[in-house]
Amino acid sequence: MKEGAGRPETVSQRTKELEELSGIQHFIRELRYHEFSRQGIGVILVVVFAVLSQPTLYFFIVGCLFVLDGLLIRLYASGFVYKNKELSTSGPYAYVRHPLYTGNILILIGISFAAGSISALVISIIFFWFYYPAAIEYEDRKLKSLFPDSWDSWSQQTPALVPKFKFNRLNLAEWSWEKSLKKNYEPVIFAFVLFWLIFLANRL
């Protein structure tokens, strides 16, 4: 979930409130909190999985369903982001605290399935394990400092990534199509993912 505004924080700004580490522990933690590395490696993984793919029709269809879910979640969630001005608790944020991350995970899992590769799925899981706990910790810490009055009750009721088994009607009244398209580069993400799905489809 992209919550920052203006110039992105450096890694040192993201970890300055954490326990001081040194040596290899410091290096690993700095890498885990490095946003550009997480985003860049995610993009590279999509390309590598597609180029090295051996897709089959069944797993391609399964993968497309995961990807579609991820894209729709991102599209829905990005229309509620208020960029440090207000804590987003409606729409998808009533179900999970970081729906953009949930969408990212579904997209990469979907690409792994569509590529027909168990190795790609395993690598994706390792990627999630390495990067996303740090990203979630930082976003939670930042949002708590920005919105201390509303953070505690919302975070206690709302899981980070996987929603509880409940369903309410979709809230479209507060959703902004313009915000969704402009704030989180959704058209670029959609075009990028669609290109590689078409690439995979041509390899069936």
Model confidence pLDDT, tens digit, residues 178-198: 666 666 678 889 999 999 999
- pLDDT number for residue 26: 84
The pair of three-digit structure tokens given for residue 146, joined into one six-digit string: 């920005």
Count of CB atoms situated within 10 Å of the CB of 63: 26
The pLDDT tens digits for 48-105 are 999 999 999 999 999 999 999 999 999 888 877 666 667 888 888 888 999 999 999 9
Structure tokens at 189: 């993400």
> Cα separation of 177 and 3, whole Å?
18
197 φψ region: left (φ > 0), alpha (ψ -120 to 50), beta (else): alpha
Cα 203–chain centre separation? 27
Q: What is the pTM of this model?
A: 0.87
User: Which two three-digit tokens encode residue 43?
Assistant: 């993009």
Q: Strands, DSSP E only, in 62-180?
A: none
Residue identified by tokens 């930082």 is: 138
Residue 15 near residue 30 (C-beta atoms within 8 A): yes
The predicted pLDDT at position 4 comes to 41
Q: What is the pLDDT of residue 159?
A: 93
Rg value, the chain, Cα = 18
Domain spans, the chain:
44-163+185-201
pLDDT attached to residue 168: 63
Distance CA 195, CA 154 (A): 37
Dihedral of the alpha carbons of 153, 159, 163, 167, in degrees to the nearest 10: 0
User: Cα–chain-centroid distance for residue 198?
Assistant: 22
The pLDDT value given to residue 22? 80
pLDDT tens per residue across span 7-48: 456 666 677 777 777 889 888 988 898 889 999 999 999 999
What residue has token string 């976003």?
Answer: 139
